[in-house]
Amino acid sequence: MGLFCYLDRDMGSAQWSDVGMYLQTIMLLLREEGLASCPQEAWSLYHSTVDEVVQPSEGLMLFSGMSIGYEDTAASGDLFIDRAPLAETVEFVGWED
């Protein structure tokens, strides 16, 4: 299954982060239902092809796509990379321990 996310062309980059948070919420809700997902911004490079199928309203632009389905945990292509510790990526200023 797939999801395509379109934005109004008048929206700027500030709204793109809002849409990212919205998509993250969708991903969490999908996980709650036992589904896996993979956001794919690369779909925006193929907007002309996707638009032929989806036929979005005028004034909309393709922001991203997302694949949705059941995770195949036996697949050899699964690669899990450890996340960096929070202290390596975030600096808290004005925050006391």
Q: For the chain, give every domain's residue range.
A: 2-71
Residue 19 contacts by C-beta under 8 Å, 6 or more apart in sequence? 5, 7, 63, 64
Give the 3-state secondary structure of residue 34.
Answer: coil
Strands annotated E in the chain = 2-8, 36-40, 60-69
Cα–Cα nearest to 47, from 2, 16, 6, 1: 6
CB-CB contact of 63 with 11 (8 Å) = no
Q: Is the predicted pLDDT of residue 64 greater than 90, yes or no?
A: yes
Tens of pLDDT, residue by residue over 71-93, are 887 877 767 778 899 989 988 88
How far apart are the C-alpha atoms of 1 and 3, rounded to whole Å? Answer: 7
* pLDDT tens, position by position, 16-63: 889 999 999 999 999 999 999 999 999 999 999 999 999 999 999 999
**More reliable by pLDDT, 27 or 13:** 27
**Does 3 have pLDDT greater than 70?**
yes
Q: Does domain 2-71 have CATH number 3.40.109.10?
A: yes
Under a CB-based contact definition with an 8 Å cutoff, are residues 58 and 51 in contact?
no
Regarding pTM above 0.85, the answer is no
